[in-house]
Structure 1
């Protein structure tokens, strides 16, 4: 007979192979998720990858932070309606360390109920983090409504 141990996969070298394959990814994730302090004093992490975003939905505001470090503010267009907000960014061909590159991205967020799209403000910091804030409208408490009784003659 033979004994089954919990590390049977290790005898085939699969666990160390998986560790080797995943290790660079985990090192990247750990280094890219370091906390940052934003200008408004809040702490967070965008994630370190282009296009990463954070969404904060509180009782008072809806807040989006989006990494657009490869774009200039004039290359970004933001549009909104009552249901969604769309961010489009595009730059024409430019040279980088590896040659020439053209980039274009579009990201759309569904707006939660109570957000006033007319209150939207946006800013972009020197690191290319776009910040969009929208106020929420105060939800009115239900009012007592008199409902008249219609009298019908039989």
Structure 2
């Protein structure tokens, strides 16, 4: 799975943690504020939108990416937060395995 993120420091690839019980990803959004960022889940897709236009500034910053969640991620458990370093932290739990 490829997670391209144009704002990642030093042009690094986004590191995704995907273990048997959790899914996590961090996206550098230091150019934006918490109110400029929106994270949504639509079906099994994660939509990350960042939009900023400062008053009196003709420059608009905008990033929009859609990522396919791994098939074992429970989309109803996706949570996001904007941390003090300007990183969007996205976490989710894995689907419960049914044992029959």
- For the aligned pair, the TM-score class normalised by the smaller chain equals 0.7 to 0.9
Tell me which structure has the larger Cα radius of gyration. 1
From 16, 29, 48, the counterpart of 1:55: 16
State the 1:124 CA deviation. 1.4
Instruction: Write 1 or 2 for the structure with the bigger share of helix.
Output: 1
Instruction: Write 1 or 2 for the structure with the bigger share of strand.
Output: 2
- Mind listing any 5+ residue stretches in structure 2 that lack a counterpart? 1-6
Q: Counterparts of 1:120-131 in structure 2 under 5 Å?
A: 120-131=78-89
> Is 1:103 the equivalent of 2:64?
no
- Mind listing any 5+ residue stretches in structure 1 that lack a counterpart? 1-45, 144-154
Q: Give every structure 1 segment of 4 or more consecutive aligned residues whose post-TM-superposition deviation is greater than 6 Å.
A: none
Moved more, 127-136 or 114-123: 114-123
| RMSD across aligned positions (CA) | 2.6
- Count residues with an aligned counterpart: 94
TM-score normalised according to structure 2 size: 0.78
Contact (CA 8 Å) 2:8, 2:27: kept in 1 or not?
no
Taking a change above 3 Å as real, the CA distance of residues 111 and 68 of structure 1, as seen in their structure-2 partners, is same
Q: Counterparts of 1:66-105 in structure 2 under 5 Å?
A: 66-93=27-54, 101-105=59-63
TM-score normalised according to structure 1 size: 0.53
